[in-house]
């Protein structure tokens, strides 16, 4: 992975993770703009907040560990640490994916947003499953490719916020619902396509330079 890309990806992951932890765990979640906007349209049940906290915990865990665990220095020089971090990362994917699927059914923007976030949760979980399946079968090259796909989807947490900032600047807060509906797909589909391009760019062999 190109060094500048890795640095940018990691810095953004840390910033988004830090924001989420402070906003939802340190401060009052009900005062977050995302939650306030939803409260204007509906009454949120306690289980929804529980799923939101679970989704943030799982997603932040995956965001922070994913880029570090892709480093060649960690993967090759500290294989035991790599495996431990990989297991924790996958636990974060399962927690974030399942809670994300629940939250998708009450997503801002209605059916289109629900479909976007639900499909994201499903492919996020499935790509994680194949990453685990291939490494258990000792297919290291395939495992690395599935991890690239999976982490690209994990980074939807970052791209969603970047797209949201751009859309609000371009179209204003009065069009937030329309913007959010579009971003429910835009936050992850380009990421998935970029991951496939990256994998194909470096060939199908075992030399895919993950974290090089």
In whole angstroms, what is the distance from residue 28 CA to residue 50 CA?
14
**Mind listing the pLDDT tens digit for each residue in 98-121?**
999 999 998 888 899 999 999 999
* pLDDT bucket at 183, cuts 50 / 70 / 90: very high
- Please answer whether residues 13 and 64 qualify as being in contact, where contact means their C-beta atoms are separated by less than 8 angstroms: yes
**Mind listing the pLDDT tens digit for each residue in 118-146?**
999 999 999 999 999 999 999 999 999 99
Q: Report the pLDDT value the prediction gives residue 211, as an integer from 0 to 100.
A: 45
Q: Which of 116, 117, 125, 123 is nearest to 98 (CA)?
A: 125
3-class DSSP assignment, residue 68: helix
Q: Report the pLDDT value the prediction gives residue 206, as an integer from 0 to 100.
A: 43
Give pTM, 2 decimals: 0.87
Greater model confidence, 122 or 35: 122
**Mind listing the pLDDT tens digit for each residue in 3-13?**
788 888 889 99
Q: Report the pLDDT value the prediction gives residue 208, as an integer from 0 to 100.
A: 47
Model confidence at 193: pLDDT above 80: yes
Q: Report the pLDDT value the prediction gives residue 48, as an integer from 0 to 100.
A: 81
Q: What angle do CA 98, 196, 85 make, to 5 degrees?
A: 50
In whole angstroms, what is the distance from residue 27 CA to residue 30 CA?
9
Greater model confidence, 24 or 196: 196
- Please answer whether residues 12 and 158 qualify as being in contact, where contact means their C-beta atoms are separated by less than 8 angstroms: yes
Residue ranges and CATH numbers for the domains of the chain are 3-201 (1.20.120)
Q: How many CB atoms lie within 10 A of CB 81?
A: 13
**Mind listing the pLDDT tens digit for each residue in 67-107?**
888 888 888 888 899 999 999 999 999 999 999 999 999 88
DSSP classification of residue 212: -
Model confidence at 41: pLDDT above 60: no
Q: Report the pLDDT value the prediction gives residue 28, as an integer from 0 to 100.
A: 64
Greater model confidence, 52 or 190: 190
């Amino acid at each position: 992975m190109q060094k500048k890309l890795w640095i940018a990806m990691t810095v953004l992951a840390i910033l988004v993770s830090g924001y989420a932890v402070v906003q939802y765990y340190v401060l009052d979640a009900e005062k977050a703009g995302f939650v306030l906007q939803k409260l204007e349209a509906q009454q949120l049940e306690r289980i929804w907040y529980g799923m939101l906290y679970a989704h943030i915990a799982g997603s932040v865990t995956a965001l922070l560990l994913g880029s570090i665990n892709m480093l060649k220095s960690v993967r090759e020089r500290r294989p035991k640490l790599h495996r431990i971090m990989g297991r924790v990362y996958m636990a974060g994917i399962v927690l974030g994916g399942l809670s994300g699927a629940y939250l998708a059914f009450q997503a801002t923007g209605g059916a289109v947003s629900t479909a976007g976030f639900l499909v994201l949760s499903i492919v996020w979980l499935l790509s994680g499953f194949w990453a685990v399946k291939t490494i258990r079968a000792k297919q290291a090259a395939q495992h690395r490719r599935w991890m690239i796909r999976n982490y690209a989807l994990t980074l939807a947490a970052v791209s969603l916020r970047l797209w949201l900032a751009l859309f609000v600047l371009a179209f204003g807060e009065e069009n937030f619902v329309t913007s959010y509906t579009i971003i429910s797909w835009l936050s992850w589909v380009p990421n998935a396509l970029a991951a496939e391009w990256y994998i194909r760019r470096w060939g199908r062999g075992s030399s895919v330079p993950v974290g090089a």
